[in-house]
Amino acid sequence: MKQSSKKKIMAALLAGAMLLSGGFSMKEASAMEQNNNQAETQKKAIKIVQTAGREQLGDFAPDFARYNDDILFGEVWSKNDVLSLHDRSIVTVSALIAQGITDSSLKYHIATARKNGVTKAEMAEIITQVGFYGGWPKAWAAFHYAKEVYAE
């Protein structure tokens, strides 16, 4: 199955789920799909180059370092023509907070989100939203890093 067909199926499934949940009207779902189709034709992927894995673990765990640098960042994050770096950052920060990962990797991804255009106001809303669904104490911990990153 072609990648564009998969995207259309996923967009239709998402729109259908939102319709069933009452989150969107048919008109809004149709507009969302049209916007997605227009945006797909205009986006161009930016290759992400990451070397942290090799720098920190290259001698100790070369395969893990390669997966980090070449697969996670070199392939997954580089598919930013499908999901923007801005949106990938939001998803990543949300997932880390929801899992309770509030260490230096969260600070790194909050800083990356800032570089990818996530504003201070957006970050505050993201963390607040995750607090309700992922855990209030986790959100408090995430705000510690977010305040540091956005103060710099």
What tokens appear for 91 in the block? 């998803």
What tokens appear for 58 in the block? 């290259």
Residue 57 to residue 66: CA distance in whole angstroms: 9
Domain 84-152 fold is: AhpD-like (1.20.1290)
> 115 and 99 in contact (C-beta within 8 Å)?
no
Is pLDDT larger for residue 40 or for residue 113?
Answer: 113
Give pLDDT tens digits for 9-40: 655 555 444 444 444 444 554 555 565 555 55
Angle at 136 between CA 133 and CA 138, to 5 degrees: 95
The pLDDT assigned to 110 comes to: 98
Given a cut of 70, whether residue 8 has pLDDT beyond it is: no
The pLDDT assigned to 135 comes to: 96
Give pLDDT tens digits for 74-98: 899 998 999 999 999 999 999 999 9
Closest listed residue to residue 93, CA positions, set 107, 82, 80, 73? 107
